[in-house]
Chains A and B, each alone.
Chain A
Amino acid sequence: MSNTPSELLRIWVFRQLSEAPGNWLNGHLETLLTAPSRQAFDIAFGMIPRKLGKEDLVLSDEDLADADAARAGWNPRLWSLDQAARVMLLVNLSNDASENFAARFKDLHGIADVSELLALYSGLPLYANPEALVEFAALGLRTNIKAEFEAISHKNPFPAEQFTENPWNNMVLKALFIGVLLEPIQGLDKRANPELARILHDYAHERWAAERIVSPELWRCIGPFAQGELLEDFQRLIDTGNETEKKAAALALTLAPASEACAKVRAQLSEFDEMIEKGELTWATIADDMFENSLAITRKLNTEVELKR
């Protein structure tokens, strides 16, 4: 039988720990199992980075496959050791039926530092009764701290599974607004909707009016609804866009509803058909292009982009 997320976290964390921190963590896990108390939890949760350090969690491709098998969409690739240990504690707590986990989550969240926030949010797909946590995730997305925003929105199946249309659309728009990549957001194509396409169309025109660059990723959410004035945006990309924008247009239009007008636009982008077919042009390669062709000038955070003309 395959491992649960909590068991996987335990394996990954302990194999990376030397004896002293390993014993420390083991002792606290034992206490939380045999004599659980809020205070014991808070101490262990708070002390984890001091005791275990903040190195990156070392994971193989096989580990990542195990993660996805244990919980579809779970991707701990960029987690740190302390983050993983904290999430393990949180997952165990959420599995304790005698605990009101949402209340504990709220309490911890209320006085959390940034690394605690990252742990709380990146564990969202793993907690029991995720419905009760939707409001905290939506609240967290109001942050201006990009890392906090990304802990919820990136490599996390929770938003696509739990958000209704309004918070979903707000998340996508805000990601573009604060310069966070869309590509690591799970479920973008599945959750595409005409309202979001309209919002992003308006947003693109607002940017163009201010002579600012529009993220090439934006067209992915408009593609499935590319008709009428939304389709006209793509003609503008063909006429005035750079290479990456044209590639994005070509990719986005593979999702567009068939029409004569659409075929006419797509015909102008036929140079990219073969690349798309061979899988050489994807939204992941667009994201890479954004960094490489100076559309984005920095790659300081994991996936932050800064758009410059």
Chain B
Amino acid sequence: MMFIDSHAHMISRTTDDYEAMAAAGVVAVIEPAFWLGQPRTHVGTYIDYLSSIIGFERFRAGQFGIRHYCTVGLNSKEANNEELAEGVMEILPRFALKDGVVAIGEIGYDDQTELEDKYFRLQIDLALELDLPVMVHTPHRDKKRGTIRSMEVCKEHGIDPSKVVIDHNNEETVRDVLDRGYWAAFSIYPSTKMGTERMVDLLKEYGPERIIVDSACDWGISEPLGVAKTAMLAKQKGIDDETIRLVCYQNALDAYGQSGQMKEDDWLNPPAIDQRTVYEGNSILRGQREPVVGELTSKHTLDNLIIE
């Protein structure tokens, strides 16, 4: 089975994670521009960060047969540094049309401040101008109100709900999001966001329509196999294959594919130039390895002492 992890901060992950994801069937990842943990203090570091996720990270993923896409945007936390925010807004249009940029994101609210609101709105307008989808980060705190407010602002700016993915949903937010016609993404992230068992229950209740499962793996204690593990557990619990395919693959492709920058052919039948340069092909698609979720042996044991 092929998977897309439509929210993965691979810049913070190791090559072991890429290996494990490829082995588990992940064919593509989307890397949203986000907060690095340490606040940035110069627009220059932001520029270099965006260059990294459109450049070196794409190459790094390609070495493991994983297609790498990204979203660009000013995240909500750093929107509160006005000087930085102004600088980022100035350079953002130049990055938004680069190869493999599938949305403006992740944008939205953190503390729901005035500055966050200002730059969220400006970036929705940018997405409208460039005809790009939007990935909305919903806040950790005061989540339900923040989620509804995000959708109200989207509506006010006239962006079609089918172009907006509302991410990091939970049991409390999903109904509103689906009712209003948005894509509802769930981040399988231990302890803070969504768990695999709860996710399976949600699939039983809501079905597959407009639901997307991602991992949101980053520099925190998180799980790059979140999508694959959800798929396996869902199968064990009797969810049908088509539902799993939609929520762990197809819906993300349909939502972000609206950018024109992400097509199934990218991994099934990649252009010759890409095969020569940034994408080495997926070993599973080449039939060399079976997906081995749950049987992966960690390199980080002292059982094998040979390093070549």
Interface residues of A (CB under 8 A from B): 42, 46-47, 49-50, 54-56, 78, 80, 83, 110-118, 144-147, 298, 300-302
- Contact status B276-A111, CB under 8 Å: no
Interface residues of B (CB under 8 A from A): 47, 50-51, 54-56, 58-59, 91, 94-95, 97-100, 260, 271-278, 280-281
Cβ of B278: which chain A residues have Cβ within 8 Å of it?
A: 114, 145, 147
Cβ of A146: which chain B residues have Cβ within 8 Å of it?
A: 59
Can you report 22 residue pairs joining A to B where beta carbons are below 8 Å apart? Answer: A54-B271, A55-B272, A56-B271, A56-B273, A80-B271, A80-B272, A110-B51, A111-B51, A111-B98, A112-B55, A113-B58, A114-B59, A114-B278, A118-B277, A144-B59, A145-B55, A145-B56, A145-B59, A147-B277, A300-B281, A301-B277, A302-B277
Taking the nearest CB of chain A, how far is it from the CB of B209, in angstroms? 30
- Contact status A54-B55, CB under 8 Å: no
In whole angstroms, how far apart are the Cα atoms of A157 and B280 in the complex? 27
Cβ of A83: which chain B residues have Cβ within 8 Å of it?
A: 273
- Contact status A114-B55, CB under 8 Å: yes
- Contact status B280-A300, CB under 8 Å: yes
Taking the nearest CB of chain A, how far is it from the CB of B18, in angstroms? 15
Q: Which of B50, B277, B278 has the most CB of A within 10 A?
A: B277
Given contacts A49-B99, A80-B271, A145-B56, whether A111 and B277 have CB atoms under 8 Å apart is: no
Taking the nearest CB of chain A, how far is it from the CB of B131, in angstroms? 11
- Contact status A46-B277, CB under 8 Å: no
- Contact status A55-B271, CB under 8 Å: yes
Cβ of B55: which chain A residues have Cβ within 8 Å of it?
A: 112-114, 117, 145
- Contact status A46-B59, CB under 8 Å: no
In whole angstroms, how far apart are the Cα atoms of A162 and B289 in the complex? 46
Given contacts A55-B271, A145-B55, whether A114 and B99 have CB atoms under 8 Å apart is: yes
The 6 closest A-B CB pairs, nearest first, are A147-B277, A80-B273, A113-B98, A302-B276, A300-B280, A113-B99
Given contacts A54-B273, A54-B274, A83-B273, whether A147 and B59 have CB atoms under 8 Å apart is: yes
In whole angstroms, how far apart are the Cα atoms of A146 and B56 in the complex? 10
In the complex, residue of chain B having the shortest beta-carbon distance to the beta carbon of A308 = B308
- Contact status B280-A301, CB under 8 Å: yes
In whole angstroms, how far apart are the Cα atoms of A145 and B94 in the complex? 22
Cβ of A117: which chain B residues have Cβ within 8 Å of it?
A: 55
Cβ of A50: which chain B residues have Cβ within 8 Å of it?
A: 97, 260
Cβ of A55: which chain B residues have Cβ within 8 Å of it?
A: 271-273
In whole angstroms, how far apart are the Cα atoms of A112 and B47 in the complex? 11
Known: A111-B98, A113-B98. 4 other contacts (CB 8 A): A50-B97, A145-B278, A147-B59, A301-B277
In whole angstroms, how far apart are the Cα atoms of A68 and B276 in the complex? 23
Taking the nearest CB of chain A, how far is it from the CB of B306, in angstroms? 12
Residue in contact with A78 in the complex, picked from B271, B276, B280, CB distance below 8 Å: B276
In the complex, residue of chain B having the shortest beta-carbon distance to the beta carbon of A117 = B55
- Contact status A56-B99, CB under 8 Å: no
In whole angstroms, how far apart are the Cα atoms of A50 and B274 in the complex? 15
Taking the nearest CB of chain B, how far is it from the CB of A181, in angstroms? 13
- Contact status A300-B99, CB under 8 Å: no
In the complex, residue of chain A having the shortest beta-carbon distance to the beta carbon of B47 = A111
Residue in contact with A300 in the complex, picked from B47, B54, B275, CB distance below 8 Å: B275
Cβ of B99: which chain A residues have Cβ within 8 Å of it?
A: 49, 113-116
In whole angstroms, how far apart are the Cα atoms of A57 and B80 in the complex? 47
Taking the nearest CB of chain B, how far is it from the CB of A201, in angstroms? 24
Cβ of B277: which chain A residues have Cβ within 8 Å of it?
A: 114-115, 118, 147, 301-302
In the complex, residue of chain A having the shortest beta-carbon distance to the beta carbon of B261 = A50
In the complex, residue of chain A having the shortest beta-carbon distance to the beta carbon of B277 = A147
In the complex, residue of chain A having the shortest beta-carbon distance to the beta carbon of B96 = A46
Cβ of B272: which chain A residues have Cβ within 8 Å of it?
A: 55-56, 80
In whole angstroms, how far apart are the Cα atoms of A16 and B162 in the complex? 35
Cβ of A42: which chain B residues have Cβ within 8 Å of it?
A: 94
Cβ of B95: which chain A residues have Cβ within 8 Å of it?
A: 111
Cβ of A118: which chain B residues have Cβ within 8 Å of it?
A: 277
In whole angstroms, how far apart are the Cα atoms of A284 and B94 in the complex? 42
In whole angstroms, how far apart are the Cα atoms of A63 and B280 in the complex? 29
In the complex, residue of chain A having the shortest beta-carbon distance to the beta carbon of B278 = A114
Cβ of B94: which chain A residues have Cβ within 8 Å of it?
A: 42, 46, 111
In whole angstroms, how far apart are the Cα atoms of A55 and B274 in the complex? 10
In whole angstroms, how far apart are the Cα atoms of A55 and B59 in the complex? 20
Taking the nearest CB of chain B, how far is it from the CB of A304, in angstroms? 9
Given contacts A46-B97, A114-B99, A115-B99, whether A147 and B276 have CB atoms under 8 Å apart is: yes
In whole angstroms, how far apart are the Cα atoms of A301 and B56 in the complex? 16
In the complex, residue of chain B having the shortest beta-carbon distance to the beta carbon of A212 = B308
In the complex, residue of chain B having the shortest beta-carbon distance to the beta carbon of A301 = B276
In whole angstroms, how far apart are the Cα atoms of A118 and B277 in the complex? 9
Cβ of B91: which chain A residues have Cβ within 8 Å of it?
A: 111
Residue in contact with B100 in the complex, picked from A47, A113, A298, CB distance below 8 Å: A113
Taking the nearest CB of chain A, how far is it from the CB of B59, in angstroms? 5
In the complex, residue of chain A having the shortest beta-carbon distance to the beta carbon of B271 = A54
In the complex, residue of chain B having the shortest beta-carbon distance to the beta carbon of A56 = B272
Cβ of A47: which chain B residues have Cβ within 8 Å of it?
A: 97
Cβ of B58: which chain A residues have Cβ within 8 Å of it?
A: 113-114
Cβ of B97: which chain A residues have Cβ within 8 Å of it?
A: 46-47, 50
In the complex, residue of chain A having the shortest beta-carbon distance to the beta carbon of B56 = A145
In whole angstroms, how far apart are the Cα atoms of A4 and B100 in the complex? 33
Cβ of A114: which chain B residues have Cβ within 8 Å of it?
A: 54-55, 58-59, 99, 277-278
Taking the nearest CB of chain B, how far is it from the CB of A34, in angstroms? 24
Taking the nearest CB of chain B, how far is it from the CB of A82, in angstroms? 8
